Structure 1
Amino acid sequence: MISGKIISGSSLIVVLALSSCTGNFDDMNTDPNNARTTRDIFYMTKAIVSTAYDYQKSAYMDEPASAGRYITMVRNEGNDTWGWDAGSWDADYLRLTTVKELRDIAETEKADQYVAVADILEVFNFAYITDRWGDIPYLEALQLSGDKEIVHPQYDKQEDIYPDLLKKLEEANNRLDTATGDIDENNDALYQGSKEGWQKLANSLRLRLLLRCAKKYTDAIPQIQEIVSHPEKYPIFTGNGDNAEVPYVGTFKWPGGPTGGGGNLTDPFAEFIKRKPSKEFVDFLQQRNDPRLPMLVDKTTGDPAQATVDHHPYVGVPNAINSPYDYNGGDEHISTLALDLFYKDQDAAVRASLMTYPEVCFILAEAAQQNGVNVPGETAESLYYKGIKAAMDYWGVSREADDAHYYDQPAVKYDGTLKQLIGQKWAALFLKGPEGWFDYRRTGDILDFNSRIGPAASQHNIPYRFIYPDNERNLNREAYDKAIAVFGEDTRNTKMWYLK
Structure 2
Amino acid sequence: MNAIRKITGLLLAVTLTFSSCDEQALFDMNIDPNAVTDMDMQYLFSLATLRIAGEYENTRANMLYAATMIQHTSSLAGYFSGDKYFYNAQYSGAYMERHYTDVIRLYSHVINKTEGNPAEANVHAAATVMRIFDLHRMTDLYGDIPYFQAGKGLEGEENWFPVYDQQRDIYYDMVDKLKAAREMFSNSARSIASQDFMYGGNIDQWKKFTNSLLMRIAMRMSNVDPQKAREVFVEANNSGAFTSNADNGTIQFTTGPFGVNRNGLNDGYWNTYKYSRDCKISKTFIDWMKDNNDPRLMIVSGGLGNPEADPSTWNTDPAAQRGMPNGYNSTTIRNVLTPAEVEEFTSPGVGNRMFSMLNLKYLDWEDPYWLISYAEVELMKAEAAVLGWISSDANTHFANGVAGAINAWVAFDPSFARSAEEINAYIAGRGFASASNQDKLRLIGEEYWAATWLNDIESWSNWRRTGFPILEPTQDPNRFEANEIPRRLRYWEAEIGANPENYEAARARIGGDFLMTKTWWDGGN
Asked if TM exceeds 0.5, the reply is: yes
State the partner residue of 1:196.
204
Q: What is the match of residue 453 of structure 1?
A: 474
Task: Render the CA deviation track for 1:401-438: whole Å, top value 9, x for unaligned.
Answer: 53782223256665242111111111111112412111
Q: Could you give the per-residue CA deviations for residues 353-411 of structure 1, whole angstroms, max 9, x where no partner exists?
A: 11110000111111111x21124xx3111111110111121124441653782223256
Contact 1:244 1:355 in 2 (8 A): yes
Note if 1:264 corresponds to 2:273.
yes
Identify the structure with the greater helix proportion. 2
Q: What's the secondary structure of 1:318's corresponding residue? A: coil
- Aligned partner (choices 83, 86, 95) of residue 83 of structure 1: 86
State the distance in 2 between where 1:123 and 1:96 align.
9
Q: State whether residues 75 and 328 of structure 2, in contact with CA within 8 Å, keep that contact through their aligned partners in structure 1.
A: no
Aligned mates of 2:145, 2:484 — CA distance in 1: 24
Contact 2:474 2:484 in 1 (8 A): yes
Partners of 1:265 and 1:424 in 2: CA distance: 28
The letter for the 2-side match of 1:276 is K
**Alpha-carbon deviation of 1:254?**
5.4
Matched residue type, 1:406? Y
2:354 to 324, 330, 333: 333
Which stretch of the first structure deviates more once superposed, 43-52 or 117-126? 43-52
Distance between the aligned counterparts of 1:126 and 1:205, measured in 2? 12
| Number of residue pairs aligned between Structure 1 and Structure 2 | 439
| 1:215 is the counterpart of 2:223 | yes
Is it true that 1:93 corresponds to 2:116 in the alignment?
A: no
| SS of the residue 2:454 aligns to | coil
Q: How far has the Cα of 1:314 moved from its partner?
A: 0.7
Identical-residue share of aligned pairs (%): 25
Shift of 1:293: 0.8
AA at the equivalent of 1:336 = M
Matches of 2:516 and 2:282 in 1, distance apart? Answer: 23
Using the size of structure 1 for normalisation, the TM-score is: 0.81
Alignment RMSD: 2.8
1:298 match: secondary structure:
strand
Three-state SS of the structure 1 residue aligned to 2:44 is: helix
Corresponding residue for 2:122?
Answer: 113
For structure 2, the residue ranges without an aligned partner over 5 or more in a row are 1-37, 346-350, 411-416
Q: Provide the C-alpha distance between the structure 2 equivalents of 1:249 and 1:57, rounded to a whole number of angstroms.
A: 21
Matching residue of 1:68: 70
Local SS of the residue matching 2:250: strand
Name the counterpart of 1:51: 52
Are 1:373 and 2:389 counterparts?
A: yes
Structure 2: how far apart are the matches of 1:210 and 1:63? 25
1:327-476 correspondence runs (5 A): 328=341, 329=345, 330-339=351-360, 341-344=361-364, 346=366, 350-369=367-386, 371-375=387-391, 378-396=392-410, 397-399=417-419, 402=422, 405-409=425-429, 415=435, 416=437, 417=439, 418-443=441-466, 445-449=467-471, 451-455=472-476, 458=479, 459-476=482-499
Separation (CA, whole Å) in 1 of partners of 2:363 and 2:129: 32
* 8 Å Cα contact 1:389/1:398 also seen in 2: no
* 1:173-198, Cα deviation, whole Å (9 max, x unpaired): 1111x562142312211010111111
DSSP-derived class of the 1:99 partner: helix
1:56 and 1:433 in contact (8 A); partners too: no
Partner of 1:3: none
> Aligned partners of 1:403, 1:223: CA distance in 2, in Å?
32
Deviation at 1:264, TM superposition (A): 3.4
1:275-294 mapped onto 2 (5 Å cutoff): 275-294=279-298
Larger radius of gyration: 2
For 2:162 and 2:97, the matched residues in 1 are separated by: 14
> Are the structure 2 counterparts of residues 259 and 212 from structure 1 closer, same or farther at C-alpha, using a change threshold of 3 Å?
closer
Contact in 1 for aligned 2:129/2:210 (Cα 8 Å) = yes
Aligned mate of 2:153, from 141, 144, 153: 144
Q: Deviations over 1:136-187 (max 9, x none)?
A: 11223333234443332221111111000111111111111x5621423122
* 1:243 to 2:248 alignment: yes
- Contact kept in structure 2, 1:254 and 1:342, CA below 8 Å: no
Q: Which moved more, 1:142-151 or 1:60-69?
A: 142-151
Q: 1:334 to 1:256 in 2, by over 3 A?
A: same
CA drift at 1:489 = 1.4
TM score, norm. by length of structure 2: 0.77
Distance 1:403 1:41 in 2: 41
